């Protein structure tokens, strides 16, 4: 009478599934799970990250973002194997340098607040938002940091050229700081 009935539904496994069903199913663990935390820690621990430009014609991700049909992807060598030059040693890959503005955008998108040349080691420093009692205080701190960076960069970082270097902060300064905070937090949550 007091017996427990076991659930017949299988436990959901969180994994990357590439079965022979002709498709790929990705089941993500919930945000904030131990798995994601471990992966982020592992990625941030890598010191010798190297970025290279991949032309859109050689980028498999661009196929999906352009709406290529699954039946076309099924037979696409680019989709399944990547660009043809990927099988060759790194020395044989094309060497297209990023412009300074592109480097900065990549750093911000990845949540990096300090960024050396992208072809060398990248040191990550993030802002701990828990140390601030309000969003306004966080944004004001970011404003002063951005002002300092604008002064010391002497026009080398294009996105900071428009940032006010003295006096009151402008509404444009506030918008830039807010966007930076959002990007950094998004990068920390992935």
Confidence of residue 107 (pLDDT cuts 50, 70, 90): low
> Per the domain annotation, does 154 fall within a domain?
yes
What's the structural domain count of the chain?
2
The three-state DSSP-derived secondary structure of the chain is: CCCCCCCCCCCCCCCEECCCCCCCEECCCCCCCHHHHHHHHHHHHCCCCCCCCCCHHHCHHHHHHCCCCHHHHHCCHHHHHCCHHHHCCHHHCCCCCCCHHHHHHHHHHCCCCCCCCCCCCCCCCCCCHHHCCCHHHHHHHHHHHHHHHHHHHCCCCHHHCCCCCCCCCCHHHHHHHHHHHHHHHHHHHC
pLDDT at 10 over 50: no
Q: What is the pLDDT of residue 94?
A: 73
Q: Of 42, 72, 96, which residue is a domain's last?
A: 96
In a domain, 26, yes or no: no
The pTM of this model reads: 0.35
Whether residue 40 lies inside any domain: the answer is no
Residue span of the structural domain in which 82 resides: 52-96
Query: Residue 142: pLDDT above 50?
Result: yes
Average pLDDT of the chain, as a whole number: 69
Whether 92 is in a domain gets the answer yes
Least confident span in 35-39, 80-84, 104-108: 104-108
87 & 133 share domain: no
């Amino acid at each position: 009478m007091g017996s427990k009935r076991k659930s017949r539904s299988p436990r959901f496994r969180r994994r990357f599934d590439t079965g022979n069903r002709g498709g790929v199913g990705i089941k993500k663990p919930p945000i904030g799970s131990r798995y994601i935390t471990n992966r982020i820690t592992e990625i941030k621990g890598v010191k010798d990250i190297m970025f290279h430009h991949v032309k859109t014609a050689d980028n498999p991700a661009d196929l999906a973002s352009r709406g290529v049909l699954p039946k076309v992807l099924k037979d696409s060598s680019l989709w399944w194997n990547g660009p043809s030059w990927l099988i060759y040693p790194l020395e044989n890959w094309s060497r297209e340098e990023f412009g300074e503005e592109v480097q900065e955008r990549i750093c911000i998108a990845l949540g990096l607040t300090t960024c050396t040349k992208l072809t060398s080691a990248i040191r990550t420093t993030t802002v701990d938002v828990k140390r601030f009692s309000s969003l306004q205080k966080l944004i004001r701190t970011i404003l002063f940091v951005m002002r300092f960076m604008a002064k010391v960069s002497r026009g080398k970082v294009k996105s900071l050229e428009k940032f006010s270097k003295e006096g009151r902060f402008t509404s444009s300064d506030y918008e830039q700081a807010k966007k930076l905070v959002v990007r950094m937090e998004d990068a920390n949550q992935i």
